[in-house]
Chains A and B, each alone.
Chain A
Amino acid sequence: MEIKKYKKSIFLVLGIFIVILPIAPISRQPLIVEKPDLLVCLIFSWLILDHKNVSITILISLSLFADILWFRPLGLWPIFILISSYLIKSMSSKISLDNFYLKIIYFIAFLFCIDACIFITSLMGLTEQLDFNIWLNRFILTGLFFPIIFFLLENLLFKDIKK
């Protein structure tokens, strides 16, 4: 079976799994240590690894699904994902991202921009108030989890691109 053909379906299933995972009522403890945003890690990993064949419809649908399930402001994340996707797509054709560390820096820069915009909308009163410590916690944890997700995707799903 050629995994390449089913990449989009696998990605969609993986995305749905990641969206559903944090809503399992295990403990309310993450008020102190936030959960990382694995969906953003997954979306950006795909964008960076395979920007030519990435399906933006799937990325947007997953973001919207997460908005609904996670009680996030509806439509805000899909806007940022849409803009970032097109920016990455256009930038990737100009900048070559061969270095692993460069890819991480690239992701962190995008994540910071998105998170900063989200925090500013919250400060402006357009969304619910976001606690700075929780925001920072989530940003750092997401940044730390990205290399793991990226490494797993690169070696399990995008082996052909790596070659």
Chain B
Amino acid sequence: MSLKSQRDYWLIFRYVIVVSAFFLFLFLFFLWRIDNYRVERFRLAILNYTIPNIEFFTSSVKVVGRIFLDISSFTNVYEQNKTLKKELQDMRKWREAAIQLEQKNAKLRALNNLKVNSILNWVSGEVIADSGSPYSSSILINIGKEDGIIDGSAVVDGLGLVGRISGVEDRISRIILLSDVKSYVPAIIEPNNQEAIVRGDNSSAPLIDFVRGIEKVQPGFRIYTSGTGGVFPPGILIGKVVLSADKKTRVKLSANINKLDYLRVLINKKQKIPSQVGEIILNKVN
């Protein structure tokens, strides 16, 4: 066989490989689109083995990154100190009020012989990875099926709701943050008890949607989970109502979503996560 024909064969072979690769990726993309649940589970299964093995690297990058962030925060340390002193003064008053209320609450509970719901349990975990693309606002934590995590469980930091579990593997779980476009949380706005939906839009302050009588909602009102649908337990603090520059009603999240280290996953043993589209509506109708 001459050199030229050999080269031609090689070129044809290469084109066949490239065209096959193109169709393979196209198939993969459509498979991801059509059977998203299964493909996402497959992705999480890969991450379950990958992420714990590269944690030594991500954690060292995290340490270096945090050092830079801390150095930049030194520039306004004087201002921070002044604000903190003022906040501390206010907190002392609130601490006294809280202690008195706690005592009063305990007495009233004893009087009513109230049994507190013990279904809710929690497991704490550390954030090990961030999503590296603008497609999703999600993170990975180092607890999974082995620790009793259930898909759909609510996740909180010390201050408020952060998001929900969306995908569990043996050693890791994925959390969809409240800021993600896929996040819709049924909420209640206090003190008027108005029902609403807190919807993520990739900004740090999610939108408040589907509120009856939006004109009654004032900045500063507190928003809690309503528990409608049975995914989120009721009464978890989400944040405060704020008006954004684009005149939209949004939530200033109580959770410090910009600096998440350790999170608490609330496990509701009686929680029933809808497995099919429209299951909640069907259950309500029945």
Contacts and interface: CB of A to CB of B under 8 A. Distances in A.
Interface string A17-45: 00111111111110110110000000000
Interface stretch (A5-13, A72-80, A97-105, A144-152): A72-80
A59 B57 CA distance: 22
B204 A31 contact: yes
A86 B21 CA distance: 13
A134 interface: yes
Contacts of A86: 18
A31 B179 contact: yes
Given A23-B129, A73-B135, A129-B181, A28 B29 contact: no
Contacts of B57: 20, 24
A71 B138 contact: yes
A39 to B, nearest CB: 9
Contact of A23 (B132, B177, B179, B204): B132
Contact of B26 (A22, A35, A60, A75): A75
Interface string A96-135: 0000000000000000000000000000001111110011
A131 B181 CA distance: 9
B25 A78 contact: yes
A130 B134 CA distance: 7
B109 interface: no
B135 A71 contact: yes
B66 interface: yes
24 contacts: A20-B54, A20-B57, A22-B133, A24-B57, A25-B127, A25-B128, A25-B129, A26-B61, A27-B69, A28-B177, A28-B259, A31-B202, A66-B133, A68-B43, A71-B136, A75-B24, A75-B26, A75-B29, A79-B25, A79-B29, A82-B22, A128-B182, A131-B134, A134-B134
